[in-house]
Amino acid sequence: MLKKSSLRRIIVSTIALIITSILYFFPTEENPTLTKNIEYVSVNNVPIYLLNPDNYVVRTNIAIDNTDSLKQAQELISALTIGSSKTEYISDHFTQIIPQNTKVLDISLEDGLLKINFSKEILNIAKDMEEKLIESLVYTLTEIKGIEEIMIFIESTKLEVLPQSNIKLPNTLDRSYGINKVYDITNIKNSTKTTVYYIGEFNDLVYYIPVTKIDNSQENKIEIIIDELKSSPIYETNLMSYLASSVELENYEELENQIILSFNNAIFDDFTEQNILEEVKYSISLSLKDTLGIQEVIFKVGDKVVETLKEI
């Protein structure tokens, strides 16, 4: 039988151990050395336009740290630059396009216009990549909230003509500039632009390939987009679409920044669940956003709303 003094020591030791455990797991301000400092980092997945192996400028995503529009722009420009600290976060399937060692000498954002002053190293690019560089910058940076157009300077001189290809640039650049352009025109004055987003795949990665078709067609842009996505592109066989040829656009209503599309039930990937493939929704919605400036797309089958995509 234990003596009373021994029993008392065991009880006191046990109580002390319990108190120590409580202080460790539930520290107080009086015990700052026991406090565990946990830092939470906000990460945003945002669109970025890089080159794929076919030298298309394509839309994929990258994780960035910033939420401020100007800081996002700086971080994304770094991600587009060959050999930057962001290179390790980009899939081997894609290639950065801004020449190595290019620096941003100055950058500012006012009233939706982003002005970027690059160092002269940005000119170290092949002739056939000059316009793709512009497309990559324009499409990446105008994905950022608050940035509607950009203006490019090199060593404080405004870039007005691409030096090797002699392509003249507009005063300010926005998404109307087009991307991966395909020309089928007979008359320059009556030409129109329609941008259609196709699908690219690499292993389990799905990404989007925008193609701006420039022609003299006066057909409705909404119908052109749906018809293009339903059929195999005639100019490139490696551009895919998941929209079935049996899909019919039965009606549409175009409102301010919004469009309502009514399809037959062939648009469903699974008729029982009445699901529309994400790739189908985004191919259509991204195409409408770039071509018509639409910010919200509502998908209907019959009289029922089945999907809505906002702030695409």
Q: For the segment 221-243, what is each residue's pLDDT rounded down to a tens digit?
A: 999 999 999 985 555 567 999 99
Q: How confident is the model over 292-296, as a mean pLDDT?
A: 94
Q: How confident is the model over 249-274, as a mean pLDDT?
A: 92
Q: How confident is the model over 242-260, as a mean pLDDT?
A: 94
| Residue 92 token pair | 């081997």
CA angle (119, 92, 203) in 5-degree steps: 145
How far lies 143's CA from each of 62, 86, 214, in Å? 12, 18, 22
Q: How confident is the model over 28-34, as a mean pLDDT?
A: 41
For the ranges 116-125, 182-191, 264-273, the lowest mean pLDDT is seen at 182-191
**By percentage, how much of the chain surpasses pLDDT 90?**
75
pLDDT of amino acid 238: 77
Q: How confident is the model over 250-257, as a mean pLDDT?
A: 93
Exposed, middle or buried: residue 295 (CB in 10 Å: 0-12, 13-18, 19+)? middle
- Yes or no: say if 9 and 27 are a contact pair by the CB < 8 Å rule: no
Most trustworthy range by pLDDT among 16-30, 108-122, 186-200:
108-122
| Residue 107 token pair | 């950058």
Closest CA to 58 of 162, 155, 226, 197: 197
Average pLDDT score, the chain: 87
| Residue 9 token pair | 């020591």
Question: Between residues 297 and 23, which one has the greater pLDDT?
Answer: 297
Which long-range contacts link 79-83 to residues 24+ away (Cβ below 8 Å)? 79/48, 80/48, 80/50, 80/136, 80/137, 80/140
Q: Where are the alpha helices (DSSP H) in 231-302?
A: 278-292
- The helix/strand/coil state of 44 is strand
Q: How confident is the model over 69-88, as a mean pLDDT?
A: 96
Question: Between residues 175 and 311, which one has the greater pLDDT?
Answer: 175
**By percentage, how much of the chain surpasses pLDDT 70?**
84
Q: How far is CA 92 from the centre of its chain?
A: 18
pLDDT of amino acid 274: 87
pLDDT of amino acid 59: 98
Question: Between residues 7 and 219, which one has the greater pLDDT?
Answer: 219
User: Which residues pair with residue 309 across a beta bridge?
Assistant: 297
For the ranges 39-48, 169-178, 291-300, the lowest mean pLDDT is seen at 39-48
* pLDDT at residue 262 tops 70: yes
pTM for the structure as a whole: 0.84
Closest CA to 99 of 128, 119, 125: 125
